[in-house]
């Protein structure tokens, strides 16, 4: 087993926390990269990058809040140069499906001269259970723009499993894994399956992108609302209305169904007001 640690950037985030925990469970030395971790990492403080990266054999890279955010690609380019300078051997990048700036970020990693794996992900199922859409679900509604556009929404546990495989197994370097759920679903379909899992009605409400922005800003602030609305405008136009085989290619198994995610979240009490 490699003795050098793996740096997990964004180790307190949805995917990073799962990746770090899985790596540790497998016995790997993990360096959790976050603002308040033992070895701090802060995207807004470049002086933290080299100390966090130095001595790591590989790094899981997630950009906060998203690669679609202005300046993200240039920041990622600087991070990649730092990683190369300090001898990091392998970068696993989390990218966004159907996002122009995410593709530019992917190219930065491809051109870095460092071994890489790209995990290009669909919309996260956990946005409904851990993110900005949990409160509406608690209220029995799923307000989303995009009309009847279908999305192959993915369970973040699958993303984490793919990332861990890429970081710990042979055969993943140079690969692009486009990861989606097993089938296309409209937001009405998702609301229906969450209703079945929770035993109470959850109704999809089609809304405008302007209303979507206002709803997120109310709970997450203007900064978060700007980012997620920009992503929604770009991606909820049908461009992602097809499944991909990244989970099967990386793990040799199909991705988890949304219904499985919903039942697990309900059992865990995620959509309980006391949670």
Please state the CATH superfamily assignment of the domain spanning residues 6-122+155-179+243-255 in this structure: NAD(P)-binding Rossmann-like Domain (3.40.50.720)
Question: What percent of the chain has a predicted confidence (pLDDT) above 70?
Answer: 99
pLDDT band at 92 (very low <50, low <70, confident <90, very high): very high
pLDDT (0 to 100) of residue 3: 78
Residues 210-264: tens digit of each pLDDT: 999 998 898 788 988 888 898 899 999 999 999 999 999 999 999 999 999 999 9
pLDDT (0 to 100) of residue 187: 96
* SS3 of the chain: CCCCCEEEECCCCHHHHHHHHHHHHCCCCEEEECCCCCCCCCCCCHHHHHHHHCCCCEEEECCCCCCCCCCHHHHHHHHHHHHHHCCCCEEEEEEECCCHHHHHHHHHHHCCCCEEEEEEECCEHHHHCCCCCHHHHHCCEEEECCCCCCECCECHHHHHHHHHHHHHCCCCCCCEEEECCCCCECHHHHHHHHHHHHCCCCEEEECCHHHHHHHHHHHHHHHHHHHHHHHHHHHCCCCCCCCCCHHHHHHCCCCCCHHHHHHHHHHCCCCCCCC
pLDDT band at 155 (very low <50, low <70, confident <90, very high): very high
Query: What residue spans define the domains of the chain?
Result: 6-122+155-179+243-255
Residues 30-82: tens digit of each pLDDT: 999 999 999 999 999 999 999 999 999 999 999 988 898 889 999 999 999 99
């Amino acid at each position: 087993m490699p003795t050098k640690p793996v740096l997990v950037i964004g180790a307190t985030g949805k995917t990073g926390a799962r990746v770090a925990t899985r790596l540790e469970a497998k016995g790997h030395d993990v360096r959790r990269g976050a603002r308040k971790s033992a070895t701090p990492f802060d995207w807004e403080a470049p002086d933290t990058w080299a100390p966090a990266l130095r001595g790591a054999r590989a790094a899981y890279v997630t950009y906060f809040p998203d690669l679609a955010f202005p300046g993200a690609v240039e920041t990622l380019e600087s991070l990649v140069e730092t990683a190369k300078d300090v001898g990091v051997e392998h970068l696993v990048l989390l990218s966004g499906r159907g996002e122009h700036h995410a593709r530019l970020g992917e190219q930065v990693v491809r051109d870095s001269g460092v071994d890489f794996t790209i995990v290009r992900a669909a919309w996260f199922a956990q946005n409904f259970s851990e993110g900005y859409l949990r409160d509406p679900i608690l209220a029995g509604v799923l307000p989303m723009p995009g009309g009847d556009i279908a999305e192959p929404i993915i369970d973040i546990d699958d993303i984490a499993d793919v990332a861990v495989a890429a970081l710990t197994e042979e055969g993943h370097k140079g690969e692009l894994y486009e990861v989606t759920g097993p089938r296309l679903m409209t937001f009405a379909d998702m609301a229906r399956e969450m209703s079945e899992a929770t035993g109470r009605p959850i109704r999809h409400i089609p809304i405008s992108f302007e209303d979507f922005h206002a709803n997120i800003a109310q709970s997450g602030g203007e900064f978060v609302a700007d980012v997620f609305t920009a992503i929604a405008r770009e991606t909820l136009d049908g461009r992602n209305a097809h499944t991909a085989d990244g989970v099967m290619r990386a793990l040799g198994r199909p991705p988890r169904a949304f219904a499985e995610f919903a039942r697990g979240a309900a059992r865990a009490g995620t959509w309980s007001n006391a949670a």
